[in-house]
């Protein structure tokens, strides 16, 4: 297209729509543009919710209380100026910072998970794999690796576009090396008590705080890509030195009730999230016990 139409040598903000326009016509261009915008809006909504949740949980660790909806509004305001830029090439520094933050966060998560192995692994329970659970889990994995809407733009901005295939292959390999240990290790250690963000399941406060700070930069919840039922984050568990006394995986009594005002924020975003995953998993099951059943908890005590 760049050889036939020199205008594409400059910035092209809707490459898929332009491809459809040249190949099929105007209606196909509108359809492609609408599909890409819906995909990007839905993906941005999910990551914005995760970033807001991480910020809210981090503030709660230090005794500050800021409503989840306000955190979501703050995240949206922070990201809005970047949306006004033409291309990712104009804010590549943000991408580099996010990649470095994600790498460090994954390392801290793996360290925190390994520390919890002696306690939580013994009490972990695992859900039976059903076709529905497998489908939901596979959908979550595919969503985590989804980046096709921006691929043509990235290739266009590269100094040597012919190396795009190598860059994509390397990117997916690096993503797999980052995602797989967190997903597999998190579910193996915490089982069905794994929360919607694995960071909040970690029992080491130092790793939890540091991971929250890093995840605020990336907007990534780093949740395990399993499809098991998940329990909501516990907001009122005492932060004591004993792992068992403050463990999310052994006590769910501090979970907020279903009537919590925070749930209204989730209700407003359900229609967006339903495009990508089972909303009930994101919201969590407040009635579920922690990292094991009562018998397991008793044996630990």
Domain ranges, residue 48? 6-300
Whole-number Å distance between alpha carbons of 223 and 210? 16
What is the predicted pLDDT for the residue at 77?
92
Residue 269 belongs to some domain of the structure: yes
> Percentage of the chain surpassing pLDDT 70?
67
DSSP symbols for 227-271:
-S--PPPPSS----S-TTTT-TTT--TTSPPTT-THHHHHHHHHH
Cβ–Cβ < 8 Å for 168, 151: yes
Does position 173 have pLDDT exceeding 90, yes or no?
yes
DSSP one-letter code for 277: S
Cβ–Cβ < 8 Å for 198, 179: no
What is the predicted pLDDT for the residue at 246?
36
Whole-number Å distance between alpha carbons of 251 and 121? 15
Q: Which two three-digit tokens encode residue 174? A: 């690096």
Residue 53 belongs to some domain of the structure: yes
Cβ–Cβ < 8 Å for 175, 218: no
Most confident of 85-89, 153-157, 178-182: 178-182
User: What average pLDDT does range 48-55 have in this prediction?
Assistant: 85
State whether residue 65 is helix, strand or coil. Answer: coil
User: What average pLDDT does range 40-62 have in this prediction?
Assistant: 84
- The contacts of residue 295 (CB under 8 Å, 6+ apart) are none
Residue with the larger pLDDT of the pair 285 and 220: 220
Whole-number Å distance between alpha carbons of 209 and 199? 9
Does position 298 have pLDDT exceeding 60, yes or no?
no
Least Cα distance to 179 among 139, 130, 221, 235 occurs for 221
Residue 189 belongs to some domain of the structure: yes
What is the predicted pLDDT for the residue at 198?
80
DSSP one-letter code for 17: H
Residue whose token pair is 């004993």: 242
Per residue in 208-250, pLDDT (tens digit) is 555 555 555 555 544 444 433 333 333 333 333 333 333 445 4
User: What average pLDDT does range 57-67 have in this prediction?
Assistant: 80
User: What average pLDDT does range 163-169 have in this prediction?
Assistant: 89
What is the predicted pLDDT for the residue at 238?
33
Least Cα distance to 103 among 46, 168, 154, 174 occurs for 174
Q: Which two three-digit tokens encode residue 259? A: 């009537």
Residue 99 pLDDT class (50, 70, 90 cuts): confident
DSSP symbols for 124-150:
---PPP-HHHHHHHHHHHHHHT--GGG
DSSP one-letter code for 3: T
What is the predicted pLDDT for the residue at 10?
76
User: What average pLDDT does range 136-150 have in this prediction?
Assistant: 84
Q: Which two three-digit tokens encode residue 210? A: 């540091």
Residue 270 pLDDT class (50, 70, 90 cuts): very low
Residue with the larger pLDDT of the pair 13 and 55: 55
> Percentage of the chain surpassing pLDDT 90?
6
User: What average pLDDT does range 5-22 have in this prediction?
Assistant: 82
What is the predicted pLDDT for the residue at 277?
39
Residue 205 pLDDT class (50, 70, 90 cuts): low
HEC per residue, 149-174: HHHHHHHHHCCCHHHHHHHHHHHHHH
Domain count, the chain: 1
Residue 276 belongs to some domain of the structure: yes
Where is average pLDDT lowest: 37-41, 129-133, 263-267, 282-286?
Answer: 282-286
Residue 1 belongs to some domain of the structure: no
Q: Which two three-digit tokens encode residue 248? A: 């999310």
Residue 137 belongs to some domain of the structure: yes
């Amino acid at each position: 297209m760049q050889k036939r139409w020199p205008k594409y040598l400059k910035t092209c903000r809707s490459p898929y729509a332009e491809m459809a326009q040249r190949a099929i016509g105007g209606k196909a261009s509108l359809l492609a543009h609408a599909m890409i915008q819906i995909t990007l809006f839905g993906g941005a909504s999910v990551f914005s919710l995760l970033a807001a949740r991480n910020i809210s949980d981090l503030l709660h660790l230090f005794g500050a209380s800021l409503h989840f909806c306000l955190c979501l509004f703050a995240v949206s305001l922070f990201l809005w100026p970047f949306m006004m830029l033409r291309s990712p090439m104009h804010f590549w520094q943000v991408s580099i910072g996010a990649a470095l933050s994600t790498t460090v966060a994954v390392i801290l998560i793996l360290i925190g998970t390994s520390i919890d192995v002696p306690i939580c692994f013994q009490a972990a329970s695992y859900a039976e794999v059903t076709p529905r659970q497998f489908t939901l889990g596979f959908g979550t994995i595919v969503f985590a690796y989804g980046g096709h809407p921006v691929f043509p733009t990235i290739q266009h901005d590269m100094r040597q576009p012919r190396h795009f295939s190598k860059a994509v292959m390397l990117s997916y390999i690096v993503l797999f090396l980052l995602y797989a240990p967190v997903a597999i290790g998190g579910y193996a250690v915490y089982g069905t008590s794994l929360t919607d963000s694995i960071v909040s399941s970690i029992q080491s406060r130092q790793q939890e705080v540091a991971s929250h700070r890093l995840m605020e930069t990336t907007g990534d919840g780093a949740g395990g890509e399993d499809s098991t039922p998940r329990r909501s984050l516990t907001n009122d568990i005492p932060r004591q030195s004993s792992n068992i006394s403050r463990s999310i995986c052994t006590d769910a009594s501090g979970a907020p009730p279903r009537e919590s005002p925070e749930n209204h924020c989730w209700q407003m975003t359900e229609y967006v999230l339903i495009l990508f995953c089972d909303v009930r998993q994101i919201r969590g099951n407040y009635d579920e016990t922690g990292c094991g059943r009562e018998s397991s908890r008793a044996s630990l005590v």
